[in-house]
Amino acid sequence: MTLLLVRIDDRLIHGQVVEGWMRNISTDHVVVVSDEVAQDGLQTDLMRMAVPAHVQLHVLPVSTAAETLKEGRWDKERVILLAPGLREIRRLLEAGVVFQCVNLGGLHDAPGRKQVTASISLSKQDKEDLVFILQQKVAIDTRILPCDESRDIVAILNKTDRNFQLLQVSQERG
C-alpha cells in the first residue's frame, strides 16, 4: 500500500482535502479512521458525496483500520488516511501501523483546547499524543495545503506554551 498522506483534520473530508490534497497527489482511495464517524451513517453518506466518483472511501473504526492496513489489503492502492485527531493516529501506531509522517492540518478550537496556530488548537491530551507520535520517529508536517510551507509544531509549542515539555524530542527520524 502506498500511504500518500496521513492527515489529521477534525473536518475530515472538505474542500481543502478534496481540491487541494486529493488532486495534488492523485489518490484513488480514502480511509477515514474514527470510531465515532464509523458509527454515523449520515456523516459517512455525506463524505461519500464529497469525494470524486473514482475515489473509493472506507470509514472504519480505529481497530479495524489498523488490522486492514497491516494486512496490506490496499497494497496496490494510492491511499490517503484521514483522522479527526491525534488520538486516532496514536492508536494506529500503538496497534503497529507504520508510517513516516503525519500532516497536522486542522484541529479547531473547542472547550479545553488552546489555539497554537490559526488552524491548530490543542488540549493537554493532544499534546501528550503529539509527544508519543514524535517519540515513534514520525515527523509532523503542519501544512494546510500541499503548496503551503510547513511550520515546526515543536518550535511553535516550545515558544507559545511554557508547560510544553518536548524540548528533548526531535522531529528528525533516527
pLDDT in tens, 95-125: 999 999 999 999 999 999 999 899 999 999 9
Phi-psi bin for 92: left (phi > 0), alpha (psi -120 to 50), beta?
A: alpha
Does pLDDT of 168 surpass 50?
no
Q: Would you tell me which CATH number, out of the four given (3.40.30.10, 3.40.35.10, 3.30.70.141, 1.20.1260.10), belongs to the domain 2-160? A: 3.40.35.10
User: What is the distance between the alpha carbons of residues 86 and 30, in angstroms, rounded to a whole number?
Assistant: 18
Cα–Cα distance list, 170 to 42, 91, 167 (Å): 40, 21, 8
Kindly report, residue by residue over 67-81, the tens digit of the pLDDT.
999 998 888 899 999
Kindly report, residue by residue over 36-70, the tens digit of the pLDDT.
999 999 999 999 999 999 999 999 999 999 999 99
Q: Which amino acid is at 161?
A: D
Closest CA to 116 of 81, 88, 153, 165: 153
CB atoms within 10 A of CB 13: 23
DSSP 141-169: E--SSTTSPP--HHHHHHHH-TT---TT-
- What's the confidence (pLDDT) of residue 84? 97
pLDDT category, 165, cuts 50, 70, 90?
Answer: low
